[in-house]
Structure 1
């Protein structure tokens, strides 16, 4: 991993200081190279000569390469057409007579004149791809990754799947985990049907039965990277379900396959060109590859498959090449309802849903691929809502592996999605936000005094400092900006609305406030506050049950019954329903396949987008900005791998340099040092706590005996006694001098405040 380990310690230490000064600090490339050459001259003057082999590096690029930090070695820059995104090799570009794309009716360009290039040509647009196989090679050489990578065969249950009363803790408890059959090939048969056919003799194996079976989740989402003008970049992330959930979404354990170049989201046809290298590698991993693994003397066979796709609603429709959620005849890729039935009882009659046949949809996708005319493709799309995606050629790829993201579905929609796809906001609005905006705000169920009362009640809540707050100006601005805020609101909405709507006898009154005379539109649903309050109560109960870290199928069914009751009551009241209401009716099937929501909702992936949005770049289009973001992501991973690769017997000064970087103050939020600090230490506490705490003076009277019992458990070989003990051979646990209270701790980058801290009203 690090060729510099073969060089002398002073040279290696110099590489570290110079490269980390440029990567983590403020040094420019020129300043770093001057420091590198000047220090080498000093070493030569002191020792009389420099090492002859390997010859010390005098450029920053060479020093990075020696340390394994030359990230371009891990990024494939693929030239593509500026319009259709078709791939052209550099050799093909050099042979083209014209810069025009060869695809029929495409007006894109393939190359531009570049006087600085030896060939005189440069790609007009580039697409950056990070090899999944090379990333897996790096990951499996890390001791921490291998330690946290849980073998599927070791987790296989001898007594079969979990029973309905047993709790699911992660994706590994779902039916989809490790069930991918190996040794198959997807073929189109003579009659037009499609099937996964066994191509190897012998018994059928699954990811669960092989030595190293790698279950993966893929996500794609678009985000803006330029302020002031529209430019959407799409991050495609792959996470590894074998990892424990506590470390699965750490940035150094997540593979960034590509940043899809903007400025607009690609069409499905363009996306099919971009995913070709990933498709080829997934086919290769499905057949098995041999990789070196930390702790093993010989390379091991690794099999891998994408067992889950977790995206927002528009992203999932692109992965499945399915119609948009506003399609008249095919709004749902699980069942065969019509769009009009979303506002009808048939859209919530779960027992009578006509579910789609996955193989019929796959057959329609292959037929769409083979269709010669646009008219034939349109007929298939109208009937089945299906188009072609390259991923349909992967054995085992079925629509049941696509999750309905709970975060976007239940809490809120993304307004950027509405603008991006030119959709009415109601098309992708989340259930909680639809109830808040469509009923409370647009239904005028709160007048100005009631909004003031709601604001005062919300602002009086004492929140734990480890979670986010709600806005303090709800009386004037009736909205929440983030999904996490909608989540907090749905937790407290029954209590808040009860306080706001109750009368003098502590009962919810039936009559709503008067509708303002200047109202732009009057509500059309039945405005009975008692019945509306029950709807909000049902939604909160359902969310409280379904959004649990661990859950059984019995609890899923119970929470789903409350959610169905919420939807049917909204229908009865005449409230307008949105696609997310119907999609939530398929929750039980998704939970059974994929486990609890913590295994597949998109909070972590939204955080990845936020991290990339903050990366400085040069503002150049045609893939240059996406290349900068991809380099930044890989560099963060490579730097952490470098720090972990140093042997235990390396020079103490190298360890001191690494320790200094890891223990750097985290106030420089968003920098590489902050990331390394949060990943290098699992728990951080304040540096200085001057005064000890009197445990007897705390309002919690049982703290002292509880801590004493804890010490007896942790140190069973020590004789620890309370302060009333007179035996001199015992260690006295003083209630006044033994304990200090931390105002906060930071665990894995998340700050948790103490209820005893009085420095801030936020704690």
Structure 2
């Protein structure tokens, strides 16, 4: 149940508690069980529910749960007993800190409720950081166990932003000193040359001018390439990150109080980047979450070694493995990316001076209308009349022309839903293997397809078209068709032979449990008699060898998903299944003083994007 609260100062925590009384009454009824009609069935079933707050930012979490905010000196953390001062001590980042309990927090809340006066209640809040909320009356409700930390705000807008803005930029670790060859100019040229996937959404840009980013998605993308970017900016003539501090600009306006050591700062960045890749994984075990937490604590303690002042978000993020992943599952299920997007829709609504609840009522009606149409779209029967389908389509298109609203996005999402992991466009093209092999200079293509089909169909006697034996023929002119693109887990990949675009032809493959950057040459479907159709990819791995220089991120390259290859150099063609597609990649072009070749640093990008793509099945 999504709830958007006004803010930042209203309603107060007591007002929020009073507003929640009707909701809590209904939740209590659901806990006891409520008889409801069953969908598509005449049976009456008893439905039970147990509430918890699984998605919220930190201010809303504190207000909703009547707990202290981040500035509370004694209890700024609801999950442990660390004080605000301990956020800047090693004690605040150790595994052995004393944890709070639901029972203890509830006891303090009842003490606040039954305080003799407002003054006494305020003293209790200053000491323990807990007020009363009506949710405490629900059986099983816990102030710490029924809420979750939002990773998007805490990590990307908190930690990554803090590292770049407060440490790198304000610490003058990257500046314009040196003109065109300055660290900032080298970093900007590096960022402008990155080859991003077409679907990636918001990109970090103009960092030299803005020195800050507005969106969490931008910080998220920046972190993935920052280990390579800062190496390009800081590397000396030996391709190493130097010890010590760079010169401070002569026009510097700030006094830096921490140790400005490039090598130590870069080591801290590697720990942050590894944590940023492990923790928000869409599939993760508790053990993997703890590993990510260890890297993150290493990052925080390394900043303390440098004398850098930390923030509440630094401490709160240490609780992610145990209090978020272990209790609520993978982080993409609880972060605020999709809800922040909805906030963006609301912010763009023109109010035209209307007040008194008029706009709120209009928005509510539009929201209900959107959901009713969406449910109608999903449940439209197979035998629906053409006029009914045409009317619904016209409503959606008209709404898109007038407002570009959520309805269009929902329709796109529904039209792409296929119930599986792999999705193909509706149209395919004939593929004559021998002609394409000759034109594209892949003489081994037919042999590879024949060997692959025999491996995948072991019970079918697949034979060559030149064979005189009995069996299922793999015909070069009719058994193979091609597709311009393929989607896996919602991410679109194209091929190098796509006539429209080859932007997404590079991907990270998982072969024998090893990540391998590769180029997708063909997306093919094989069909022979006595066997189901088989989709496969013809790929070429990006080439590397022992002459490739060793870079500072290589020590954690597997954890980061960063691999160095030679630009535009490939290994032999091979055939693989689509489920080997692991993630899209960003290609960072760099050079090294140790070899004359251009180097592509391939960075594996996460697969948790929320930006909806354009529907272009028909165009291909």
TM-score by length of 2: 0.70
1:440 paired residue number: 168
From the superposition, tell whether residues 647 and 710 of structure 1 become closer, same or farther in structure 2 (CA, over 3 Å): farther
Where 1:551 maps in the other structure, the secondary structure is coil
Indicate whether 1:407 and 2:140 are aligned.
Answer: no
Match of 2:312 in 1: 579
- Go from structure 1 to structure 2 and tell me whether the alpha carbon gap of 1:554 and 1:620 turns closer, same or farther (over 3 Å shift): same
- Quick check: 1:725–1:732 contact (8 Å CA) kept in 2? no
Q: 2:329 aligns with which of 576, 582, 595?
A: 595
Please say if 1:742 is aligned against 2:484.
Answer: yes
Deviates most, 480-489 or 736-745: 736-745
Distance (Å, rounded) in 2 between the aligned partners of 1:268 and 1:554? 36
Cα distance, 1:317 vs. partner? 0.7
Deviations 1:19-67, CA, capped at 9 Å, x for gaps: xxxxxxxxxxxxxxxxxxxxxxxxxxxxxxxxxxxxxxxxxxxxxxxxx
Note if contact 1:458-1:470 (Cα within 8 Å) is conserved in structure 2. Answer: no
Once the two structures are TM-superposed, the CA of residue 514 in structure 1 deviates from its matched residue by: 1.1
Contact 1:259-1:626 within 8 A present in 2 as well: no
Instruction: Tell me the distance in 1 between the aligned counterparts of 2:121 and 2:465.
Output: 83
Is the CA contact (8 Å cut-off) linking 1:539 and 1:563 kept in structure 2? yes
Offset, 1:623:
2.6
2:361 matched residue in structure 1: 627
Q: Which residue of 2 aligns with 1:220?
A: none
1:396 match:
140
- Which structure is richer in relative contact order (CA contacts within 8 A, separation 6 or more)? 1
Give deviations 1:571-615, integer Å, cap 9, x for gaps: 011011101111122223212212221222222222332344445
Compare 315-324 and 459-468 and name the one that shifted more. 459-468
Structure 2: distance between partners of 1:660 and 1:483: 35
**Residue in 2 that maps onto 1:426:** none
Question: Are the aligned partners of 1:666 and 1:677 in contact in 2 as well (CA < 8 Å)?
Answer: no
1:298 pairs with 2:298: no
Using the TM superposition, name which of 522-531 and 361-370 deviates more. 361-370
> Using the alignment, how far apart are the partners of 2:248 and 2:334 within structure 1?
42
With over 3 angstroms needed to count, the CA separation of the structure-2 counterparts of 1:262 and 1:356, relative to structure 1, is closer
2:257 to 524, 527, 538: 524
- Cα distance in 1 for partners of 2:414, 2:225 equals 33
Unaligned runs of 5+ in 2: 177-181, 505-620
> Aligned residue for 1:475?
208
In 2: Cα distance, 1:610 partner to 1:432 partner = 22
CA deviation profile, 1:457-501 (whole Å, cap 9, x unmatched): 122222222323533422322222221221222222222222221
3-state DSSP class of the match of 1:301?
A: strand
Change (3 A) 1:325 1:665: closer
Change (3 A) 1:501 1:438: same
Task: Return the offset for 1:532.
Answer: 1.1
* Alpha-carbon spacing, 1:401–1:302, altered in 2? closer, same or farther (3 Å): same
Q: Distance in 2 between matches of 1:755 and 1:481?
A: 34
Report the 3-state secondary structure (helix = DSSP H, G, I; strand = E; otherwise coil) of the residue aligned with 1:626. Answer: helix
Distance 1:723-1:489 versus aligned 2 partners, 3 A rule? farther
Distance (whole Å) between structure 2 residues aligned to residue 653 and residue 719 of structure 1: 49
CA 1:334–1:713 in 2, change beyond 3 Å: closer, same or farther? same
Q: Does the C-alpha gap of structure 1 residues 710 and 338 become closer, same or farther in structure 2, counting only changes over 3 Å? A: same
Contact kept in structure 2, 1:546 and 1:559, CA below 8 Å = yes
The residue aligned with 1:134 is none
CA distance in 2, matches of 1:647, 1:761: 38
User: Number of paired residues?
Assistant: 489
Cα separation, 2, equivalents of 1:740 and 1:682: 21
Task: Determine helix, strand or coil for the equivalent of 2:244.
Answer: coil
Q: Does 1:387 align with 2:131?
A: yes
**Secondary structure at 2:52 match in 1:** strand
Task: Check the 8 A contact 1:325/1:331 in 2, yes or no.
Answer: yes
Mapped to 2, the partners of 1:454 and 1:443 lie a distance apart of 16
Cα distance in 2, alignment partners of residues 747 and 588 from structure 1: 25
Offset at 1:379? 1.1
By how many angstroms is 1:537 displaced? 0.9
Q: For 2:102 and 2:19, how far apart are their aligned partners in 1?
A: 25
Q: What is the aligned counterpart of 1:282 among 27, 38, 46?
A: 27
Asked if 1 retains the 8 angstrom alpha-carbon contact of 2:169 and 2:175, the reply is no
Q: Deviations over 1:682-708 (max 9, x none)?
A: 268778777858653568888767766
In 1: Cα distance, 2:53 partner to 2:278 partner: 23
- The superposition leaves residues 134-172 of structure 1 with CA deviations (integer Å, 9 ceiling, x where unpaired) of xxxxxxxxxxxxxxxxxxxxxxxxxxxxxxxxxxxxxxx
Determine the C-alpha separation between the residues in 1 that align with 2:160 and 2:500. Answer: 34
Q: Is the 8 A contact 1:259 1:630 kept in 2?
A: no
Distance 1:641 1:471, change over 3 A: closer
Q: Distance in 2 between matches of 1:508 and 1:712?
A: 51
2:7 & 2:53 partners in 1: Cα distance?
26
For residues 277 and 130 of structure 2, the distance between their equivalents in structure 1, rounded to whole angstroms, comes to 35
Q: CA deviation at 1:638?
A: 0.8
| CA displacement 1:487-543 (0-9 Å, x = unmatched) | 222222222222221212122111332111221112111111111111111111222
- TM-score, L = length of structure 1: 0.58
Give 2:582's aligned residue.
none
Shift in CA distance, 357/394, structure 1 to aligned 2, threshold 3 Å = same
Q: Match for residue 99 of structure 1?
A: none
> Post-superposition shift, 1:622?
3.2
Q: Name the CA shift for 1:475/1:727 in 2 (closer, same or farther; >3 Å).
A: farther
Corresponding residue of 1:677 = 412
